[in-house]
């Protein structure tokens, strides 16, 4: 397997395999590495120091996993695997979690972003040397990645739409509706539902637990910095309305239709 460390981050201009189609160059603040397109070639990145990983990322940030991801070459493509506890944001707005299938990398540049402690941003820049037109055509056959949608039952969707109506209506700096305000609105929309703060908390807690099991961060007090305030609910609603399309503006119709 041909892997080379690139001093100063400079890409070699001559000689195989770095100039061959499919070669991968990975850059971080700590340096850069390049790998040829050999079947089974692997580049690991994470908080571990070199040589436990090929490229160190977030070495002093304990929220970054020791081996946070793997780039593997197989069947003519480089694939990104998330092996860490935090999601990896991919340029273009997509995101991959540990539970997701590996993602193929197209030719050209791709940026990976991991958000760590105190909103620190850890960035990897990837470049796959260009393919010929036939490989470009093959890439177009891969299924388009669609934003993730988390499953919600009717009760969960109703409660979260009420709490997150300011997010769904497009306010510039939205904040969650207070639990007291949510109780009042839910009892108005669904009389006889015996809505109270405890019931709302139970519904929200179940959703937070499910998302945490699937790698979503920032939903519990041990994952955020003090003061907490309504940050946990804000992070949950951002995940459901911005990061994913779990809740959409059209869901606001629930607030009009339920009483009818």
pLDDT at 168 over 80: yes
pLDDT at 221 over 80: yes
Output the average pLDDT for the chain: 85
Q: What is the mean pLDDT of residues 232-245?
A: 90
Q: What is the mean pLDDT of residues 144-164?
A: 88
Please tell me the distance from the alpha carbon of residue 229 to that of residue 250, in angstroms, as a whole number. 28
Residues contacting 202, CB < 8 A, separation 6+ = none
Run of H or E including 127: strand 121-128
pLDDT at 76 over 90: no
Q: What is the mean pLDDT of residues 129-142?
A: 54
Please tell me the distance from the alpha carbon of residue 247 to that of residue 166, in angstroms, as a whole number. 12
pLDDT at 138 over 50: no
Residues written for the chain: 260
Asked if 7 and 26 count as a contact pair (C-beta separation under 8 A), the reply is: no
Predicted pLDDT at 142: 56
Q: Look at strands 94-96 and 121-128 and give their pairing.
A: unpaired
Helix-strand-coil percent breakdown of the chain, rounded to 5?
A: 30, 20, 45
- Reported as a pLDDT band with limits 50, 70 and 90, residue 13 is very low
Predicted pLDDT at 8: 45
- Reported as a pLDDT band with limits 50, 70 and 90, residue 7 is low
pLDDT at 9 over 50: no
Please tell me the distance from the alpha carbon of residue 5 to that of residue 114, in angstroms, as a whole number. 22
DSSP H helices, 31-152, are 133-139
Please tell me the distance from the alpha carbon of residue 188 to that of residue 34, in angstroms, as a whole number. 61
Predicted pLDDT at 117: 87
- Reported as a pLDDT band with limits 50, 70 and 90, residue 199 is very high
Predicted pLDDT at 134: 38
Helix 197-213 crosses helix 231-238 at what angle (to 10 degrees)?
Answer: 60
Say what the alpha-carbon torsion angle 51, 53, 57, 63 is, to the nearest 10 degrees.
-120
Predicted pLDDT at 97: 86
Domain with CATH 2.60.200.20 in the chain: 3-139
- Reported as a pLDDT band with limits 50, 70 and 90, residue 173 is confident
Asked if 101 and 127 count as a contact pair (C-beta separation under 8 A), the reply is: no
CATH class of the domain whose range is 3-139: mainly beta
């Amino acid at each position: 397997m041909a892997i080379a460390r690139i001093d100063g981050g400079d890409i070699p201009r001559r000689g195989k395999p770095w100039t061959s189609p499919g070669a991968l160059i990975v850059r971080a603040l700590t340096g850069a590495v390049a790998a040829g397109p050999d079947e089974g070639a692997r580049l690991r990145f994470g908080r571990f120091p070199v040589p436990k990983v090929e490229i160190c990322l977030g070495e002093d940030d304990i929220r970054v996993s020791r081996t946070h991801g793997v780039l593997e070459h197989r069947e003519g493509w480089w694939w990104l695997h998330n092996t860490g506890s935090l999601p990896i944001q991919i340029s273009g707005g997509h995101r991959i979690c540990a539970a997701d299938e590996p993602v193929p990398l197209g030719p050209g540049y791709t940026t990976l972003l991991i958000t760590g402690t105190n909103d620190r941003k850890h960035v990897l820049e990837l470049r796959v040397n260009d393919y010929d037109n036939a490989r470009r055509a093959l890439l177009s056959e891969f299924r388009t990645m669609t934003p993730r949608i988390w499953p919600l039952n009717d009760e969960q969707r109703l409660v979260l739409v009420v709490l997150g109506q300011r997010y769904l209506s497009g306010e510039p700096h939205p904040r969650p509706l207070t639990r007291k305000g949510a109780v009042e609105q839910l009892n108005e929309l669904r009389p006889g539902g015996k809505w109270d703060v405890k019931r709302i908390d139970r519904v929200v807690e179940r959703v937070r637990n499910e998302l945490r099991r699937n790698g979503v961060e920032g939903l519990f007090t041990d994952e955020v910095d003090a003061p907490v305030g309504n940050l946990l609910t804000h992070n949950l609603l951002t995940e459901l309305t911005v990061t994913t399309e779990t809740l959409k503006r059209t869901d606001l119709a629930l607030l009009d239709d339920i009483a009818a």
